Amino acid sequence: SQTIHQWPATLVQPVGSPLSLECTVEGTSNPNLYWYRQAAGRGLQLLFYSVGIGQISSEVPQNLSASRPQDRQFILSSKKLLLSDSGFYLCAWDRDRGRIDYTFGSGTRLTVV
Amino acid sequence: QKEVEQDPGPLSVPEGAIVSLNCTYSNSAFQYFMWYRQYSRKGPELLMYTYSSGNKEDGRFTAQVDKSSKYISLFIRDSQPSDSATYLCAMSFTSGTYKYIFGTGTRLKVLA
C-alpha cells in the first residue's frame, strides 16, 4: 500500500531563518506531488506541484521554492522566512490523472516568530 | 467573490442528528465535486466525490450537487461524536487537472 510521510510535524522558526520541509511517498512510482498551505479562514492554497523529477510548477509567487530531487521526494524550502509564511503545510500525491485520488500527508505546523 | 464559499461554523449538533454541510461556487465549469474530512492537526482525507449533478450515497454520507444553483451539500445521517472534524469541499474542472479549488472548511462538533 502507498503511504506518504511528511516531517517535521511542528516547527517554530525565527524570521529570516531558512526552511526545509520534506515529503516522501512509498509504495508507488512516478507520483504527482503537491505542496499546499492551509491558513486559518483561507482554505487550502496550492503552492507547487510536480509531475516528475526536476519538474516544478509554481502556482503562487512567494518566498518559497520547491524541488524534487528524487521520484518520490518533494522538498519545500525558503532562504529567509517571513511572518506571513506561518501556516499548516501539507504535501499530497496522486498518480492517475483520470482519477480523483489525492492523498494528503499529516502536515507540518510552521510558526514563524 | 471567492470561487468557492463555505460557512466556517462551528456547527454544533447532538449525537444522532442529521447534519447538512454546504458550499456555493461561482464557476459553472466545475465538473468534479469532492468532500474531505480533516481531523485536528491532520491532513484532509477524501470522503467522497461526485461528477456533474446528482446524488451519491456512501453509508451515512450523501453528497448532492445542484449545478443550476451552483450549490453542493454533504449530509451526514445519525451523526456520531467521531464525525467531529472540519469538512472541506473541493472542486475541479476535470479529473485530469492538477488544481483543486478548496473551500475554507466547516468545523463540525457532534455532542455526545
C-alpha B17/C-alpha B77 separation (Å) is 7
For residue A98, pLDDT over 80 is answered with no
Top residue of B5, B30, B101, B102 to mutate, by most chain A CBs within 10 Å, is B102
Nearest-CA distance A100 → chain B (Å): 6
From the list A41, A42, A104, the residue facing B43 with the nearest CB is: A104
Cell of A83: 511572518
DSSP-assigned letters across all residues of chain A: --EEEEE-SEEEE-TT--EEEEEEEES-SS-EEEEEEEETTTEEEEEEEEEETTEEEESS-SS-EEEEEETTEEEEEESS--GGG-EEEEEEEE--TTS---EE---EEEEE-
For residue A100, pLDDT over 80 is answered with no
Tens of pLDDT, residue by residue over A53-93, are: 999 998 886 789 999 999 999 999 999 999 999 999 999 99
The mean per-residue pLDDT over the stretch B32-39 comes to: 94
Measured between alpha carbons, how far is residue B112 from residues B38, B60, B79, B81, B90 in Å?
20, 17, 10, 6, 29
Confidence at B99, pLDDT banded by 50, 70, 90: confident
The mean per-residue pLDDT over the stretch A39-50 comes to: 86
Residues of B in contact with A44 (CB under 8 A): 44, 88, 90, 100, 102
Cell of B69: 444553483
For residue B81, pLDDT over 80 is answered with yes
Q: Do A100 and B88 touch (CB under 8 A)?
A: no
Q: What is the pLDDT of residue A56?
A: 93
